[in-house]
Amino acid sequence: MARMKFLCDADRCIECNACVTACKNEHDVPWGINRRRVVTLNDGKPGERSISMACMHCTDAPCAAVCPVNCFYTTADAVVLHSKELCIGCGYCFYACPFGAPQYPRVGNFGSRGKMDKCTYCAGGPLADGSAAEYASYGANRLAEGKLPLCAEMCSTKALLAGDSDMIATIYKERVLKRGYGSGAWGWQTAYKETIAI
């Protein structure tokens, strides 16, 4: 079985926000919620890099580890999903996630913010039945149709990769070898070319 993952190549991301817009449109995400966002490091300075961020569907997800009602679960494809029926909106996952993926759907006093919302990797909800109720709560189920998440498909520079982790690792390794320097993902580089010149 494939292990579905995301990877954003910071050397290719141009901060166009097509991934953010595609996600909002595909899932009718409410105003104020972004299941995916673009973060810019060193904005306006040399070495500026942009990274598309969402739930990274961790192998050992910290959100699942801290949830008091066990509403998080991992599918056979290694996609981390949560059940909004079980969620109590306590926010533990919000604080545990290093990527800031789980979010409250509303702003307000504690208890009135609602149940958490997060990236579903376009895999729908717990039942994955394609119903209107599932779509209203979790969005489209593109994985059931054999498609990848729309955010990755809409990326014009192919900076955002989605799919089987082994395939993504192979693609990214080829890119790094062609560039001739260390990893550009997440904005850090090894000055390989500069060391050779010295």
Question: Does 195 have pLDDT greater than 60?
Answer: no
pLDDT of residue 179: 82
Q: How far apart are the C-alpha atoms of 179 and 38, rounded to whole Å?
A: 23
pLDDT of residue 180: 72
Nearest to 51 by CA among 144, 161, 148, 180: 161
The confidence band for 150, taking pLDDT boundaries of 50, 70 and 90, is very high
The confidence band for 29, taking pLDDT boundaries of 50, 70 and 90, is confident
The arithmetic mean of pLDDT across residues 96-108, rounded, is: 87
- Residue that wins the pLDDT comparison between 66 and 190: 66
The confidence band for 1, taking pLDDT boundaries of 50, 70 and 90, is low
Q: 12 vs 51, 175, 185, CA distance in Å?
A: 9, 10, 9
pLDDT of residue 134: 85
What mean pLDDT is reported for the chain?
86
Q: Considering the domain 4-197 in this protein, what is its CATH number?
A: 3.30.70.20
Q: How far apart are the C-alpha atoms of 80 and 55, rounded to whole Å?
A: 8
Q: Which stretch of 48-57, 81-90, 121-130, 151-160 has the lowest confidence by average pLDDT?
A: 121-130
Here the tokens at position 27 are 């899932």
Q: How far apart are the C-alpha atoms of 130 and 119, rounded to whole Å?
A: 17
The confidence band for 176, taking pLDDT boundaries of 50, 70 and 90, is confident
Q: How far apart are the C-alpha atoms of 88 and 31, rounded to whole Å?
A: 21
Question: Does 35 have pLDDT greater than 70?
Answer: yes
53: Cβ–Cβ under 8 A, 6 or more apart, which residues?
8, 36, 37, 38, 39, 99, 100, 101
Helix ranges restricted to H, 120-181: 132-138, 150-153, 165-179
Helix (H, G, I), strand (E, B) or coil at 144: helix
pLDDT of residue 122: 92
Contact assessment for residue 21 and residue 34, using Cβ atoms and an 8 Å cutoff: no
pTM above 0.85, yes or no: no
Question: Does 194 have pLDDT greater than 50?
Answer: no
pLDDT in tens, 108-130: 777 678 889 999 999 988 877 77
